[in-house]
Amino acid sequence: MTTLPMPDAPASPANGELAQVGGTMGAPRVQLDDLSVSVVIYRPDVDVLTRTFECLGAAARAFVAARRGRTVSLSVVDNGDAPGGDGVSSGLAPAFAALRAHGVPYRVIGGHGNVGYGRGHNLALEGVGSACHLVLNPDIDMEPEALVEAVGFLERHPEVGLLTPWVGDADGRTQYLCRRFPAVLDLLVRGFLPASLRSAFASRLARYEMREAINVRDVVWEPPIVSGCFMLFRTTVLKQLGGFDPRYFLYFEDYDLSLRTHALAQVAYVPAVCVVHHGGGASRKGFAHIRMFGVSLVKFYNRFGWKLV
């Protein structure tokens, strides 16, 4: 079982209107039922995916133990399985063995080809009747109590429709994945400028990444944008939104969905829920990803309004 690194020591937030503990006072606790999870894969690293499923399995087992009669089920959407195929290749057997070892029921959705990240999750959502649905990346390790903590928070705060966790890297450093609405300059500097030149924009990027508010102690209410690597929704909210906008093939689909969620429910950053993210940026994945990033960027700003600087 993977042991997650301890997160950074907390930093006191400078903006008290963003970082605060608690939510709507006196709101009734609502008991939530089953939890569904969707993971979209495309030719994944087997070792990383196996670790993700091991962590998910342990967290699911803890959730079921704490919530007698509740279930956790997984939909694996294989975008790497060609049309006419019959599901996941045998090369992924170790990953699915990890799920079976923890007793996690799963289904594989394949044969549709590479339809993109958001549309892949939407395929899983079509057959879901759970109270909560977790959109999860195939490169996420979570603490064993992550699902118990996350669903418990939603039960205590019925006004919240989307929860995002503390996200760290393999060394325990915080990844600042809650964001304010970005200018194009913010995205270009953060994603593509060499580190030696990025320091000149440090204060600007810190504001974009909400560094004054995000820590391991305080709940942050209504971060404008949260990462798609771990998005825990009330399923009714996610379905009312229609899931991800299928016009995004990759990149910005989580920005789009985050902004639309605020019209229906509150969004909360909850650092008691801890995960580690092993992903990387578009600029480190080659020209094809840079091109997809640019195409999605234009779609995003055409919908929500352009902000250059």
CATH number (domain holding residue 261)? 3.90.550.10
The answer to whether residue 19 sits within a structural domain is no
The answer to whether residue 12 sits within a structural domain is no
What pLDDT, on the 0 to 100 scale, is given for residue 28? 53
What pLDDT, on the 0 to 100 scale, is given for residue 284? 59
What pLDDT, on the 0 to 100 scale, is given for residue 282? 53
What pLDDT, on the 0 to 100 scale, is given for residue 10? 37
The answer to whether residue 106 sits within a structural domain is yes
Contact 169, 275 (CB under 8 A): no
The answer to whether residue 125 sits within a structural domain is yes
What DSSP string runs through 95-117? HHHHHHHTT--EEEE-SS----H
Range of the domain at 231: 35-179+219-281
- Could you tell me which of 236, 255, 237 has the C-alpha nearest to residue 247? 255
CA distance 108 to 179: 32
The answer to whether residue 309 sits within a structural domain is no
The answer to whether residue 30 sits within a structural domain is no
| Burial class, 244, CB count within 10 angstroms (exposed 0-12 / middle 13-18 / buried 19+) | buried
CA distance 245 to 251: 11
**Which positions of the chain have pLDDT values less than 50?**
1-3, 6, 8-27
Report the number of distinct structural domains present in the chain. Answer: 1
The answer to whether residue 17 sits within a structural domain is no
What pLDDT, on the 0 to 100 scale, is given for residue 29? 62
Instruction: Write down the residue that tokens 């975008």 correspond to.
Output: 79
The answer to whether residue 306 sits within a structural domain is no
CA distance 53 to 88: 15
Ranges assigned E (strand) in 100-229: 106-109, 132-136, 140-142, 160-168, 220-221
pTM recorded for the entire structure? 0.90
Contact 27, 156 (CB under 8 A): yes
First to last CA, the chain: 45
Instruction: Write down the residue that tokens 């809650």 correspond to.
Output: 178
- Could you tell me which of 290, 225, 223 has the C-alpha nearest to residue 251? 290
